[in-house]
Amino acid sequence: MTGFHHVTILRDEVVRFLAPRAGATYADVTLGGGGHTEALLKADPACRVIGVDRDDVAIAAASARLAAFGDRFSVVRGAFGDAADLLPTGLAGLVADLGVSSPQLDDPDRGMSLRREASSGPLDMRMDRSSGRTARELVDELSADALADVIFEFGDERRSRKIARAIKDAAERGELATTGDLRHAIYSAVGGSTVGGIDPATRTFQALRIAVNDELGQLDRLLASLPALLAEDGVAALISFHSLEDRRVKHAFADEAVWEALVKKPVEASAEEVAHNPRARSAKLRAARRRRAGEAPLDRAARYEEKRKKKWGKA
């Protein structure tokens, strides 16, 4: 792959929530192509941003893109779930875009692509290709029942038993080396007709990718580390792309002893953004402020009064 072009999702909304200020340090723990980091650095000429990513291609691309910002930008190689070990404490804000970057999805060599023209890609799916098991190795390690559980839990695929058996059968026949082979095995179980414009292999591909990269485990560890990473009044902004992620973020930010949720419902991409970037249609952004020590959550009456003042003023 010669480049790493990824359209930044909900960029302006992230900047609005984090509100960069001079002298403060922020973290982008899913650096990717560097779009959110660049927007934060441009929003204030004296803030700093630390980027985290486990994809060497993304790190190289973002480092080149952000070189003009000098030492205001730095990068650490690692997974976002290990943020507690990679980042300093006292951050003024942190952003995580939990989606897979377009170059990762589209590059046949990554083994995540559903496109027919990419059907010769290896069945890999790792974000960090230097370590961990591939999707093919995962299939070999799991029984048919365990594989079906993965497909059902992470892909919300109701036909998981039939699909898992077809995948295992293809592996046993030596016919499961590429993404095209995986797609063919899935089609053999449930047919190849799209439903509502969605390829019948989409949910299984998603489930295997999530399992290979431990995406939900990474998110759980990140959420647990956020209170210690952020300074008082620090803001966390997390963008999720499916219900399993969004549910975890919502549950974490519901702890009113630690967080003040800045939105009641997740912020979604505008129709204009979706038209420009269809992959933004499933994005959900939640943001929360870390409370100050000793700060008590507002009771219902106080919340109503605060909303009234924000809308109508004190008079």
Longest alpha-carbon distance in the chain: 76
Residue pair 18/237 in contact by the 8 Å Cβ criterion: yes
In angstroms, what is the C-alpha Rg of the chain? 21
Q: Start-end ranges of CATH 1.10.150.170 in the chain?
A: 111-213
Architecture of domain 11-97+215-312: 3-Layer(aba) Sandwich (3.40)
Question: In terms of Cα–Cα distance, which of 209, 236, 204 is closest to 134?
Answer: 209
Taking the C-alpha atoms of residue 26 and residue 52, their distance in angstroms, rounded to an integer, is 11
**Which residues belong to CATH 3.40.50.150 in the chain?**
11-97+215-312
Architecture field, domain 111-213: Orthogonal Bundle (1.10)
Question: What gap in Å lies between CA 195 and CA 197, rounded to an integer?
Answer: 5
Helix (H) or strand (E) holding 74: strand 73-77
The model's pTM is 0.87
CA dist., res. 122 & res. 107, Å (int)? 11
Give, for all 315 residues of the chain, the pLDDT tens digit.
Answer: 345 566 899 999 999 999 999 999 999 999 999 999 999 999 999 999 999 999 898 999 999 999 999 999 999 999 999 999 999 999 999 999 997 766 666 677 777 777 765 577 899 999 888 888 999 999 999 999 999 999 999 999 999 999 999 999 999 999 999 999 999 999 999 998 887 778 999 999 999 999 999 999 999 999 999 999 999 999 999 999 999 999 999 999 999 999 999 999 999 999 999 999 888 899 999 999 999 988 878 665 555 556 556 556 554
Report the Cα–Cα distance between both ends of the chain, in Å, rounded. Answer: 60
